[in-house]
Every structure is written in structure tokens, then in C-alpha cells.
Structure 1
Amino acid sequence: MREAPRRAYTARLCAPEAAPRPTGTATLTERQTTLLSYAAAFALGLGLALWVFPIDFLFPRAGQAWRPAGDAAQHMVAQRYLIADAWGWPPTFAGNLNTQEGGMNTAFADSIPLLALLLKMLRGWLPEGFHGIGLFYGLAWLAQPIAAVFALRSAGERRLLPAIGIALAASSMPAWIGRFGHAALCGHFLLLLGLGLYLRLVTRPSVALWIAAALLQVATLLVHPYLAAMTLALLGAVPATRLLRGEAFLGPALAVAASFGLVLGVMAGFGYLGAQGDGGYGQFALNLLSPVWPAGSLLSGWPWSPQLDATGHGGWEGYNWLGAGLLGALVLGLLLRPRFAWRRLGRHAGLAVVLLGLTALAVSFQVGFGTRIVLDLGPPPAALEQFRASGRFFWPVAYALLLAGMVLLARVRPVLCLAAGLLQFADATPLRAAIADWAQARPAWTVEAPALRAELASAGSLTLLPSWTCLTHADAATYPQLLEVLVLASERAVPASTMYVARWRTPPACRDQALAAAPLAPGELRLILPAAQDSLAPLVPDSEARCRPIGALLACR
């Protein structure tokens, strides 16, 4: 008997303040408002994606005269090899890459398996050398404002101006734009979808919504495990909120457990479990000043890099400037609607607890404030070593704050949401310019690309020396060279002996001397980079007759 009044109270609390109807003027129906809200978000996302990313970046092919660089090149190589390889199990395994280790699970090279496996099904219609890394950037920029509108409407605010405002603001989140070196981690739209599903499951749960939430967890895992950990935390806030409200929570808790079990099953089937990395939890943490430190802000005029760093490992992973529009919306909303904000916080206490936990995880055991460590809690538990880049865990908190600010402003005047969105959009101008410059850059190859392409065209396999596992920090100049050669080899997916991976099941071993001294196999192309030529070239059988220089590289056939 008490449930009906409680639902009525919840509906009143979640519903937006009714906008006054102007006399004698036409008003939009709810359906028209919905269509216009999503259409505006779609147009914004599409326009930004096409403005930032050139067509040959979104839809690449083999033979390009310029080289990709950094993490994007690594992800591209892994995805190309996965698309070209035969189907097997786990589906993310590529036997033609890192062949000296017996192949590799490309999920550990951030190949965005969700998209890669779809492209693999379509590979017969794709141009040679196509990969979906650039395409994912475009899809992420398209989806970001649409997912923000979904989250806002899930919070009960369904008017047009707030929808446009949050679409503009979400498309201008500094931490999101600043991820442009890492394609998979640009999938912040998944976090906004996770927030939206939390809000709907707390107030209007249904079987269909729970199924959608479970599928979102799997899809997010197949984009990037860090994002999946965040969306799972948001889903776990549903039973937590209902528990703290004094409402039935056992059913939602079981549904969350089932979703978690589904994710674990996919992780086991796709070979995620049992892998380990370098560790280092706390090295790449959230600085306490980072959310309010206006690096990259147009209004402050400060460059976005270098970021705040108290650990000595760089502050990029902890970069989380919230943006002038978001902070303005939040502060103004709290000043003008403090009671409403307090009631909303109480109604979503479980989410607040989860967000506080994510913030603590992001800050880590070494608490940085500016350039200093102000609190050191000692060695973290071993389980946390899996979260080396802990600063990322603040991202859901930032989007929850954006949502809260927009809902509060909408209670005052919907046009204020539009103003906040425009302010956020303008403030992020330097960051958009940085990613546009990066995407439109056409750096020249540092290796002899045409000659290497000709050699690789007739090669049956590629042995690349030194192997990635034999490099040290002193060989920093060799990393980009090795990656460039792999990018060229990936155009035809020539079986390659080595590849960088962030995680592994068995710690990789350095066997370069044995690889160099082995007899050359029929069709093998053995490439020795400058850093290893003095030590490894003399080991190649009959090297004087079989090896010749291609630029700075030594090619043996």
C-alpha cells in the first residue's frame, strides 16, 4: 500500500519543472521535442566528426603516403591483423601477429574488438588495409551528444533547450577530447548511456531495460575493460540507491549479479582472465586540483599540456578539467536551487556513494595536490595493480556532475542550460583545435616506406629485430621505428614475429639472438633495426650475401 505514494513522490521529484505555456503561441508536442532533441544532437555530433576528422582518417586504406603515430598506430596494427586472420577461438586472437609467442590476443593491444569483429565479418567488402580505428573516433564523436541527451531525458528533463545545452557541453568535455591519442578510451558515450540506464532502472525498471543494461556491459567490455569497470559500477548503484531509499533492492541486486556474471563469462571466453600487466597503481592518478585546474581552457589561456603531476609519471591519465560551462552550471544551480539539489542527492545516495568510491580509486593511495604528494597511504592491495591508469575512474563522476548541473539549471530557466552548453563549447576551443591538428597531420615516414612495401609484398613472414620484449627504456628511439614497420606489414597482414601488448598471460622472454642466428626460412624477410645491427647482424647465417640495407634498416632474405 505504501508503494503507490512513494512512486508518486518519485515521479514528482524526477519530473522537470513545467515551463509556462505562452498564450496564443504554438507549443511543441512531447514527440516533436523528442525528435528535435535527438536530431539536434545527431547533427552536432555528425558536424563535429566531419570537421575534426578527414575522410582518409575515418576510412583508411593501404598505401597511404603518411604514417600514423603513437598509440593509434599500435591499435591499428592489432585490428588489421585480427580482421585479416582466420576465425578462431577466442575470437580476438590473431595467430599471424607476435608469431614468436604463438600469436596474441589483440584485445590486449586495444583493438576495439566490438568494432573489429564486425569489420571482420565484412572484410570481403573492405578495401585492402582498412581498419576501424579512425572510424571509431568518428562514431564516438557522433554518439557523445546523443548519449548525453538520453541521460538528461532519463533524469526527467525532456525540454529542448536543456537537451541542446547538454549536447554541446558533453561534446566539449576536456577529459574526453584529450583522449585523442587512444581511440577505445574515447568511448565516453558508453558512460553516458550507463548513467541514463541507472536513472531509468532506479525509477522505472523493466525486463527490457535490464537486458539493455547487461548488453551494454558486454559491449563496453569489448571496447575497453576500463570503461566496462565504470559502467558496471554505475549499474551497481541501482540496488545501492534502492537500499538506501528503503525500497526493494534484492531483485536489482540479483540482476546486477547476473550482468556481472555475463561479463565474467565473456572475459573468460575471450581470454581476458589471467592476464597481467606492468602494474603501477597510483603512478597515473587523479590530482586533487585537476578537476578545477583550467588546463586547455580558452578562458584561462593555459595550455592543456603538460598536465598537473605530483607522481613524476606525467599527469595525462589524471587530466580531468571539468570545463567552465560545467562548473558554472553546477555552482549556479546549487546557489539557486539548493533544496532541490539536496533532495535529489538524497534520492540518489547509492549513486553518490559509488561516485565517491570511483573518485577515491582515481586519486589512489598517493594523493597529489598540485606538484606535491600530500598523503601517502603506503603500498596498495595487489588487486589494484590492475588499474595502473587510475585517474580515468573520475570520468563517470564528471558526467554525473554535468548531468546534475544541467538538471539544476533547467529548474531555474531552460535557456540557462543552453548558455552553459555554449560556454563549455567555447571554452574547449583549444582542445578541439588540438585534436583536429592531430587528425589532419600527415607526418612523413621515417623508414623507406616504398622500398619496404615492395619487400613485404613478396614476403611470406616478417622477423623484426629487436623484438619488442628485448627493448629497454634506453631504446626509446627504436619504438617508433619498430611500430612503423609493423604498420607497413599490417597493410597485407604479413605474419610478424613481434608486437607490443599491454598485458600477457606468460611474461614474454627475449630470444633475439636465437632468432637472428636461425637459418632464414623460405619467404622470410628478416629486418634488423639500427639499434640491434651491431649485435645481431653478424649472427645471421651468410649475412654478407643475404642482407642489404633499406635506408637505415638491414633486410635479409
Structure 2
Amino acid sequence: MSYLAAFLVGLALALHVFPLDFLFPVAGLPWRPAGDAAQHMVAQRYLIADAWRWPPTFVATLNTQEGGLNTVFADSIPLLALALKGVRALLPEGFHGVGLFYGLAWVMQPVAAVWALRGAGETRILPAIGVALAAASMPAFIGRFGHAALCGHFLLLLGLGVYLRLVRRPTVARWIGAGALQVAALLVHPYLAAMTLALLGAVPATRLLRGEAFIGPGLAVGVALAAVAGVMAGFGYLGAQGDGGYGQFAMNLLSPVWPAGSWLSGWPWSPQLDATGHGGWEGYNWLGFGLLGAFVLGVVARPRGAWKLLRKHAGLALVLAALTALAVTHRVGLGEEIVLDLGPAPTALEQFRASGRFFWPVGYALLVGGMVLLAKAGRAGPVLCLAAGLVQVADATPLRRAIAEWAGGHPAWTIEAPALREAFSEGRSLTLLPSWPCVDHATGGDTFALLLETLALASERPVPASTMYVARWRTPPSCRDQALASAPLAEGEVRVILPAATPSLAPLVPDGAARCGPLGQLVVCR
């Protein structure tokens, strides 16, 4: 009954927030994806349509000037994309699973919260509904819109539930399930895998501090880590590099208690707290009045129970403290000021540029712990758990409204979509200029957006495309736009030049006067 109630909560919220054409998109829509969602959608469409290769996430038809693309570096959510690829014959043209993943994440979030709560020993219906409502209304979860893979917070709640079960009774079957969860988290997003692995590592730590057998659990964690490393090697994750910058997108010390986006406080969601100068969105971790109320009331009502719970899960507490330290980083911000600067970060941390995300498991542990304490605070405890969940739902109203407006915004194409669709349907390849590595990262925001918009249109078919925006790469990309523009047009090639590159590259196209012409703000050569 608890799981059914949580499922219905998640389903109702998902259908309330996301339009059906967002959850189940097809080709030919009169609106375009925007921001990072366009990148993820393009990568998924090409992966679903391309031939099966090794690694399974590699496509030869995207970023062809670099020899293809491993779509794990474009946040393609491989776990879902590969499943859709297996049934692509049944899918409508242009279908991708980015919108679908949002829906799945919203449905699974409250279900996974109940799983975690039951792992802590609380099985009554009212606390279950309370934790389901609160988890579905976590500000850090709702505030991830625009980045589908990172909405997979249900994996963190599942990881917390796995910890609670393994630390109590570490059976072989549970360890196998734990290992599968780590691989699944990796194939959604590596950040999520790092967090679920940290929660798994708390199992031997807690057992050690309790004086219980820990060597076997420690070896099991090593096996799970080896499995993740093996999948990373097989799927081509290893050896990748990005822009670095650990600490640029850190969590502010005040963020968990700073009610940005809270309906009860009336504070706007944006701008977030920022002491680093890079914006505070990645470090946004307001916990919500429902969670804070449940936790404070639970501790006040049962201080001895709170201390006992902390001692019982001391290993988990140490892991959560370490994740919090990673989140605030070596340059610690309080409000708008840096209050502690420890100098350059260790090189090993440079890949975790968006370090503020590491607080997410801490928030969910506080939620589950608070609900466990409050549920046992006398006869009124379960009712108070439900009330805390309802408060959290109400408090998150502005955030749900914001994501609903984003998902249902349906911005119009800024390019001539019908004419360009026709060109792509007849073309054999797309050369898009400027290429992604040739765009100035500091000043090229509009060009990046237009590049992704053009690729989004091309991906409906999808026509092999020369370039793609990626977050990480194994071989540093190079800028060869002049050579690409100067090359003779191949048979079936569609060469699209964006406004920023038109003055410098359009004159280089051979026989350009006869083969090139304006199409809205673009120049198209065929």
C-alpha cells in the first residue's frame, strides 16, 4: 500500500508538471528544445538511430569531423537510450527519451523515498506518504530542470535504502543488487554513481565503528567499484577530460537553509547564493520547510533517539560529512563572501567542477532520518510526518510552477525550420560552421544555442553531422573551420553557416555564389 500510494503521488505530479508532447516527443514539432536539453536530445536521437557499435554508446554519424562521438560525454542517459535503441523499430520518427526520463524520475522519486524509509524500519502508511510527498518536493531535485540525467535523484534514495539494508543484513543477493545499482547510476550520470558509491562505502565504515564484521562488506564494496570501473573502461569513460575548475560551482554554507524558491518565505528562486563568481545554481540545496520542520521536531521530541541514530550509523555520518566538505570545496563561501580559502585543489578533484551537487545525498539522509525520528514521537508522530510532507509540497509550489512553465514553454524555432527540414531530408550529410571547438566559450552563447538548435532539427532524421557540443572528450577537439569551409561540396552535403561565421567562412566555399544562399539568418550551401 505504501508503494502504491507513493507511485500515485509521483504519477500525479509528473502528469501535472509535464505536457504529453514533452514526455513523448516526435519529429516535426513546431517548437524547439532549449539549453542543455537540446544537447541531450540530439545525442540520444543519433544514438538510437545509429548502427550498433562498440562501445555501445558510440555513434559514427555525429561529430563526424572528429571521427564520431561517444555520447556518454553529451549526457545522453545511456541506460535509457540503449533500451530505446533496442526497440527503435517500434518508436515514432524522431522519438527520444529525454522527456520520458523526466517523467520516470518524478514517478520513481517518491517510490524510492518509501524504499529508503522502510529500510530504516518505518513501515506505517502515514510516514510513508509524508516522506513520498517531501521527496517529490525536494528543491534540489525540482531545480535540476534543463538537465535530465541529473534529475535521477531516485537513484540516491535507492542507494540510501541499499545502505540501510546492507548494514543490517549484508546478504549476497543484496550485494548483487547494490552492484547493479552502481552500474545503473553510472549509465545515467557519473556524478550520481560517485554519490551512490559513497553511500555503499558507508556500509563497511558503519559496521567497523559498531564493532561488527566489516572485511567482507569492504571486499564487496571493492567488487562493486571494480564493476563500475570495468563498465567505465568498456564504455569509453576513462581517459576523458573536461574544462576542470573544481570549486567554481560549489555549495554556499548558507544554501541548505536559505529559502530561495520557497513559497512560504516568498523568496525568489533566482539568483542563488554565490561567493565564487560563477553563479550558485549548481550549489542550490535549499532543504525546504517541510524537511527542516520534520528534522527539528524529531530531534527535539526524541533527542536520545537522535543521538542513538547518529551512533548507530556513524559510518554513514562520516561519509555524509565528507560529501558536504566536497560540496563546499576548498574555497568556502558564506553568503557573498569567501570565508576560507585552502588554495589550489588537488588535481584528482578537478573533474568535479560542479561540486555543489555532492550535498544531495546529505539532504535525503536528513529527510529520512527526520521522518524516522518524528514518526516515533508519540501517537501524533505519523500524522506530523504527513503534515511535514504536505508543508514541503506547498513550499515547493514556485519551483513546480517554474519547471512546468519550462517544460510547456514550447519556444518557437528561430531558424527556418520547414525549409531546413526539407534540405536535411534530401541531404546525405551536414557540415555545420562554426564547429563547436571554434566557438569562443566566453562570448559565444548565442552561437552555441543556434548550433544546438540546428543540430536538433537535423537529429529528427537524423542526417550525419560534422560537429557536436560535448562536456568532456578523450582527444582535445581542434578547430579546422577554414579547411572545412574551403573544401569542395560533396554530393548530398548540406553546409550550414551560422551568422557569427558568415563573414569569414562563406566567401571560402567553392562556387559559393551559385551554391549558397540565405535561409533566414543562416547561409545554406548545397
Please name the residue that 1:113 is paired with.
Answer: 78
- Out of 401, 411, 426, the residue aligned to residue 458 of structure 1 is 426
- Out of 277, 282, 291, the residue aligned to residue 326 of structure 1 is 291
Consecutive unaligned residues of structure 1, counting only runs of 5 or more, are 1-35
Distance 1:421 1:149 in 2: 12
Q: Which runs of 4+ in 1 moved over 3 A?
A: none
Please name the residue that 1:435 is paired with.
Answer: 403
DSSP-derived class of the 2:146 partner: coil
Please name the residue that 2:195 is paired with.
Answer: 230
Please name the residue that 1:3 is paired with.
Answer: none
Please name the residue that 1:213 is paired with.
Answer: 178
Question: What are the Cα deviations for residues 430-450 of structure 1, in whole angstroms up to 9, with x where unaligned?
Answer: 001111111111111111101
2:413 corresponds to 1:445: yes
Please name the residue that 2:444 is paired with.
Answer: 475
Question: What are the Cα deviations for residues 206-259 of structure 1, in whole angstroms up to 9, with x where unaligned?
Answer: 111100000000000000000000000000000000000011100000000000
Q: Give aligned pairs, total.
A: 522
Post-superposition offset of 1:155: 0.1
DSSP-derived class of the 1:282 partner: coil
TM-score, length-scaled by structure 2: 0.99
- Out of 385, 394, 415, the residue aligned to residue 417 of structure 1 is 385
Amino acid at match of 2:144: R
Please name the residue that 2:507 is paired with.
Answer: 538
Please name the residue that 1:59 is paired with.
Answer: 24
Distance 1:46 1:331 in 2: 30
Post-superposition offset of 1:475: 2.1
Amino acid at match of 1:422: L
Please name the residue that 1:50 is paired with.
Answer: 15
Distance 2:128 2:410 in 1: 37
Amino acid at match of 2:444: D
DSSP-derived class of the 1:386 partner: coil
Question: What are the Cα deviations for residues 389-414 of structure 1, in whole angstroms up to 9, with x where unaligned?
Answer: 00000000000000011001001111
- Out of 338, 344, 359, the residue aligned to residue 373 of structure 1 is 338
Distance 1:502 1:73 in 2: 13
- Out of 495, 510, 531, the residue aligned to residue 464 of structure 2 is 495
- Out of 264, 272, 288, the residue aligned to residue 229 of structure 2 is 264
DSSP-derived class of the 2:11 partner: helix
- Out of 241, 249, 259, the residue aligned to residue 214 of structure 2 is 249
Distance 1:512 1:211 in 2: 49
- Out of 312, 324, 328, the residue aligned to residue 363 of structure 1 is 328
DSSP-derived class of the 1:474 partner: coil
Amino acid at match of 2:304: R
Q: Which moved more, 1:350-359 or 1:469-478?
A: 469-478
Distance 2:506 2:394 in 1: 55
Please identify the structure whose Cα radius of gyration is greater. 1
Amino acid at match of 1:306: P
Please name the residue that 1:525 is paired with.
Answer: 494
Amino acid at match of 2:300: L
Distance 2:473 2:166 in 1: 37
Question: What are the Cα deviations for residues 7-63 of structure 1, in whole angstroms up to 9, with x where unaligned?
Answer: xxxxxxxxxxxxxxxxxxxxxxxxxxxxx1111101101111111111110000000
Consecutive unaligned residues of structure 2, counting only runs of 5 or more, are none
Distance 1:79 1:494 in 2: 14
Please name the residue that 1:144 is paired with.
Answer: 109
Distance 1:335 1:438 in 2: 40
DSSP-derived class of the 1:477 partner: helix
Distance 1:441 1:502 in 2: 26
Please name the residue that 1:99 is paired with.
Answer: 64
DSSP-derived class of the 1:463 partner: strand
Distance 1:351 1:196 in 2: 12
Identity %: 77
Post-superposition offset of 1:474: 1.9
DSSP-derived class of the 2:47 partner: helix
Please name the residue that 1:124 is paired with.
Answer: 89
CA RMSD of aligned residues (A): 0.5
Question: What are the Cα deviations for residues 55-79 of structure 1, in whole angstroms up to 9, with x where unaligned?
Answer: 1100000000001100111100000
2:282 corresponds to 1:317: yes
